[in-house]
Amino acid sequence: MVNYKVELHTGNILHAGTYNSIYIQLSGTKGESEWTYIKETACQDSVIEHQVACPSSLGLLEFVAIETKPYALLAYINDDWFCSKVVVTTPEGSTRHFPCYNWLSGSERLVYREASGKLIFNDTCPRALKEREEELKIRHQAYQWSIYADGLPNIIKAGSVSDLPDEVRFSFTKDSEFKFTFLNAMVELNLQGLSTNKEQWKNLEELSHIFNCRKTKVYEYIEKNWKKDEFFGYQFLNGINPMMINCCTKLPDNFPVTEDMVKASLSEKSLEEEMQDGNIFLVDYKRLQGIPANVINGKKHYLAAPLCLLYMTPEEKLMPIAIQLKQEPSEENPIFLPTDSEYDWLLAKTFVRNADFSEHELNSHLLRTHLLAEVFAVSTLRNLPMVHPIYKLLISHFRYTLQINTMARESLISKTGAITLNASVGGPGMLEFLKKAVAELTYSSLCIPEDITARGMDDIPNFYYRDDGLKLWDILHRFVHSVIGRYYTSDSDVQKDGELQNWIKDIFFNGFLSNASTGIPNSFSLVTELVKFLTMVIFTASVQHAAVNNGQFDFGGWMPNFPTALQLPPPTTKGQCTEKTMLQTFPDINTTAKGIATVYLLSKPSSDIVLLGDYKEEHFFEKLPIQKIKDFKQELEVFSAEIKVRNQRLELPYTYLEPQNIETSVAL
């Protein structure tokens, strides 16, 4: 007889343990063990050790099958068990790891593969191929595509969170915290009395007095500085939507800014010369053109589609120098200037900030991080078995994404959702705007090195989103390359990996609606193509999401800086606007309160956050990927220290891309 020492690891999440009886069977190249009953009870965050005796060696151990059944005395209780991994020490002295990370519900027999990453064409034994197929068959049932709306990426089929498989749901910790927070965001912010108050703001002191809880340092800075042109310009680089600004070498035909208009804002050179020198920048919200604005509190609200011209001064301050609120130039669409009256100029900037809210929440945040991460997650779950190295690499980057998106569809963008009801871009215009954003989405805009260059933003000073983002892209790219190169040793490996090809086809079809003009590939031929795409996937789910998500309360908490809705139309003449006009333009008190509670909730990390580089689930056990993960983490730590030093000299530190603030997945 020979003995196999088996360790069964129960995960460290609430209710992971079970009273169910556990049975296990080991399989190797020379045979299978008997089904063995595990006497011990599995408790949360514990390891059960057990011996499995066999008449002779099983050869190279490849599979572990596990079954659970309700315990005889407690047959009326079927108690789910979260098994994280099984570790087997063979009689020959080697250790074999079997990652599981599954809830076993007592009704099925599950088979887990030994942890070495394997591509399908290297999996030669018939049972291995059969297990791959079986696993994907089960996942195809559990994770199905569904159409959310025509022209938008497809989503996971789940009417509500309870329809999602347990493996992709929040831990009980996050679940209870998030529910608590959502219901009580208004209470935490001491806003509960305001949710039905449909009055307008009488003055901004009142606003400051009422919204006085949980202010962050950045919030306080913004409350003091929101009116300043310098801060207005700064936000296009290092606020929560650094995605809109482009270098401008030629004015658009529909934005007839003249030399005279901007003379007072420029130093010594002409506008034309400054454009040639790369010092003029444009932010154009043309996607908002024609989008119908919402009705809030029974009143029609307004959306502008502004164009804003900015100038990088010799003192390296990015200053707005001209704003036109609608796309079509006309006499009723004046070009506002910093030399106009205080409130004319401030109101013009406020319409730009509201347009930025629409672009930020729906395009930069929802579409370009949340919805795309969901597409990548669903395709991974449907097409790649656990033993596939890309599954191992990616799965942690989809933690909680399906649940947070399902919740967002229920509570933010549903008919009664917070954005639907409280934003100018909410209501009927929301889907129309999203469809435009999808139609204009490109692969290269998701890859920060290409995006920055395409926008002509390589050289502008003080662009910390760019500096930190490019560095993180580089770190990620090298990490992905080193891990993936271990498995794909030639381009032909990429070409003959049918599972990988199905994965990218599913993304192309369901995520990008087979639109070849996006530049998204529908197959891979080269290792380099694959590495770049995987880098983009991880970057989108972690770094990019952190850049557009984490500062929502910082930058949006002080409503005048980031109003969700505006209730007077864009002005058609100059010289009419007063402080009263501003206050009448801002959203009502209840709309303001709900907007603030929403950005507060969406910026609040949970206590079970997993940071970029922390691969808490161990899917890799081979030496090389484990070493590369360590190196990756170390590089992130070094970079974190560099950012901290840089930030010491900044009036407003840019912290969103400090690796210690980057969650590994879209989970919030």
Q: Which 340-359 positions form the footprint of Fe ion (CB under 5 A)?
A: none
In the complex with Fe ion, the residue whose CB is nearer, 372 or 582, is 372
In the complex, least distance from residue 551 CB atom to Fe ion, rounded to whole angstroms: 11
In the complex, least distance from residue 192 CB atom to Fe ion, rounded to whole angstroms: 24
In the complex, least distance from residue 611 CB atom to Fe ion, rounded to whole angstroms: 15
In the complex with Fe ion, the residue whose CB is nearer, 265 or 549, is 549
In the complex with Fe ion, the residue whose CB is nearer, 327 or 549, is 549
Q: What's the CA gap between 95 and 53, in Å, rounded? A: 16
- The distance from CA 508 to its chain's CA centroid, rounded to whole angstroms, is 19
In the complex, least distance from residue 180 CB atom to Fe ion, rounded to whole angstroms: 19
In the complex, least distance from residue 666 CB atom to Fe ion, rounded to whole angstroms: 6
Q: What's the CA gap between 191 and 202, in Å, rounded? A: 17
In the complex, least distance from residue 356 CB atom to Fe ion, rounded to whole angstroms: 17
Amino acid (1-letter code) at residue 558: W
Pick the closest to residue 78 from 45, 39, 108 (CA basis).
108
Residue whose tokens read 């006009």 = 581
Burial per residue of 407-439, b for 16 or more beta-carbon CB atoms within 10 angstroms, e otherwise? bbbebbbeeebbbbbbbbbbbebbbebbebbbe
DSSP 535-604: HHHHHIIIIIHHHHHTTHHHHHSSGGGS-S-B-SPPPSSSS---HHHHHHHSPPHHHHHHHHHHHHHHT-
Q: What's the CA gap between 176 and 168, in Å, rounded? A: 16
Contact 11, 42 (CB under 8 A): no
In the complex with Fe ion, the residue whose CB is nearer, 383 or 540, is 540
In the complex with Fe ion, the residue whose CB is nearer, 531 or 548, is 548
Burial per residue of 614-643, b for 16 or more beta-carbon CB atoms within 10 angstroms, e otherwise? ebebbbbbbeebeebbeebbebbeebbeeb
Sign of the Cα torsion 456, 462, 465, 466 reads positive
Residues 6+ apart with CB under 8 A from 21: 37, 38, 68, 69, 70, 71, 72
Q: What number of chain residues touch Fe ion (CB under 5 A)? A: 1
In the complex, least distance from residue 414 CB atom to Fe ion, rounded to whole angstroms: 17
In the complex with Fe ion, the residue whose CB is nearer, 549 or 592, is 549
By beta-carbon distance, which residue lies closest to Fe ion?
549
Q: Which 295-314 positions form the footprint of Fe ion (CB under 5 A)?
A: none
In the complex, least distance from residue 72 CB atom to Fe ion, rounded to whole angstroms: 46
- Using CB under 5 A as the binding rule, whether residue 68 contacts Fe ion is answered as no
In the complex with Fe ion, the residue whose CB is nearer, 549 or 585, is 549
Residues 6+ apart with CB under 8 A from 5: 49, 50, 51, 88, 89
Long-range own/partner contacts, residues 170-179 (CB < 8 A, 24 or more apart): 170/400, 170/403, 171/13, 171/14, 171/608, 172/13, 172/14, 172/15, 173/13, 173/14, 173/606, 173/607, 173/608, 174/400, 174/606, 174/607, 174/608, 174/667, 177/606, 177/607, 178/407, 178/606
In the complex, least distance from residue 472 CB atom to Fe ion, rounded to whole angstroms: 18
Instruction: Collapse the DSSP code of 340 into the 3-class scheme (helix H, G, I; strand E, B; otherwise coil) and give the result.
Output: coil
In the complex, least distance from residue 503 CB atom to Fe ion, rounded to whole angstroms: 24
In the complex with Fe ion, the residue whose CB is nearer, 90 or 540, is 540
In the complex, least distance from residue 545 CB atom to Fe ion, rounded to whole angstroms: 6
Instruction: Collapse the DSSP code of 51 into the 3-class scheme (helix H, G, I; strand E, B; otherwise coil) and give the result.
Output: strand
In the complex with Fe ion, the residue whose CB is nearer, 407 or 454, is 407
In the complex with Fe ion, the residue whose CB is nearer, 52 or 472, is 472
Contact 132, 121 (CB under 8 A): no
In the complex with Fe ion, the residue whose CB is nearer, 549 or 606, is 549
In the complex with Fe ion, the residue whose CB is nearer, 527 or 546, is 546
In the complex, least distance from residue 524 CB atom to Fe ion, rounded to whole angstroms: 29
In the complex, least distance from residue 169 CB atom to Fe ion, rounded to whole angstroms: 17
Q: In what order do the strands lie in the sheet with 335-336?
A: 245-247, 280-284, 307-312, 318-324, 335-336
Instruction: Collapse the DSSP code of 147 into the 3-class scheme (helix H, G, I; strand E, B; otherwise coil) and give the result.
Output: coil
Per DSSP, what are the bridge partners of residue 2? 54
Element (H, E) at 637: helix 623-648
In the complex with Fe ion, the residue whose CB is nearer, 169 or 317, is 169
Q: Which two tokens stand for residue 507?
A: 């993304």
Which segments of 143-188 does DSSP mark as H helices, in order? 172-188
Contact 375, 154 (CB under 8 A): yes
- The distance from CA 143 to its chain's CA centroid, rounded to whole angstroms, is 20
Q: Which 438-477 positions form the footprint of Fe ion (CB under 5 A)?
A: none
In the complex, least distance from residue 142 CB atom to Fe ion, rounded to whole angstroms: 24
In the complex, least distance from residue 369 CB atom to Fe ion, rounded to whole angstroms: 6
In the complex with Fe ion, the residue whose CB is nearer, 33 or 405, is 405
- The distance from CA 252 to its chain's CA centroid, rounded to whole angstroms, is 32
Interaction mask 128-167, Fe ion, x per CB under 5 A: ----------------------------------------
Q: Which 531-570 positions form the footprint of Fe ion (CB under 5 A)?
A: 549
In the complex with Fe ion, the residue whose CB is nearer, 303 or 667, is 667
Q: Which 32-61 positions form the footprint of Fe ion (CB under 5 A)?
A: none
Where do contacts with Fe ion occur on this chain (CB under 5 A)?
Answer: 549
